[in-house]
Structure 1
């Protein structure tokens, strides 16, 4: 019994270390192709069950599309990444981190890709559930909201109180 508890604790600690690492790589990926490639390399072989990490994997694939030259491959990467992200969200619909990932992609996706349908829904959930999250996730969400042009000044002030 102790062996099982130790094993489960080890897995939990590993996932807890992986998520902050994925968060930072995701933030950095928006800054350059090199960072996007590093994020993609970090996430491409992830095949476990953690829905947040699967959402980051989807985001890494979708971001890879930004720097792909061929239109067909660009579309393929984007669709594959979004599908993985949406599947993660379908399995954990109230997860604010997954909602934030989707929102950040939808806010920064060209209109022609027609992937902007959930912006208001995700914003609403992020703002209404913000104070129920752990400190680390609140800080991450706050940093995104404050730099986003998709949130009003009033919405930004609501998370600073």
Structure 2
């Protein structure tokens, strides 16, 4: 029995995606259905009780994947599922710059008809106010997001470089 428990633990640790690989994939997931599906598959094993940042990326994967659903009802259900999950991560960690960046990246790219665009200004202001408090790796990652984002002005993008 102990061997079985150790094997399960080992498989869980090995198969859990690491945040560095998730961050590396995220900027390209919206570029194709294949990228979105791969990202969704990588995060499929994340439970809602796992590390909040991984849950936020899982929520983003659901939102991105909803774009490729064939039926409108399935598309809407997936979108609502992802948005609800992402909002729950922000509720549990409202001061996470990275989770705010994830929501901003989603909201600036979804169609207006979804009604899921109300936090763009809030998240942008939060990111600008708190980016310098982040560790070097996360700061560079967020700066790279700012440079390609639709929500930041040319002056803000230049400041991020």
TM-score of Structure 1 vs Structure 2, range by shorter chain:
0.7 to 0.9
User: Which sits farther off after the overlay, 128-137 or 93-102?
Assistant: 128-137
Alpha-carbon RMSD across the aligned residues, in angstroms, is 1.6
Instruction: Name the structure 1 match of 2:138.
Output: 137
Give the gaps of 5 or more residues in structure 1: 1-12
Give 1:4-153 correspondences, 5 Å limit.
18-47=18-47, 48-153=49-154
Instruction: State the distance in 1 between where 2:43 and 2:84 align.
Output: 15
Q: Which consecutive residues of structure 2, in runs of 5 or more, have no partner in the other structure?
A: 1-12
Instruction: Work out the CA distance in 1 between the residues paired with 2:160 and 2:45.
Output: 35
| Aligned-residue offset at 1:28 | 2.2
TM-score between the two structures when normalised by the length of structure 1: 0.86
Number of residue pairs matched?
146
Question: What TM-score does the superposition give when structure 2 sets the normalisation length?
Answer: 0.86
Quote the Cα distance in structure 1 between the aligned partners of 2:63 and 2:56: 10
Residue 127 of structure 1 and its aligned partner are, at CA, apart by 0.6
Distance 2:114 2:130 in 1: 29
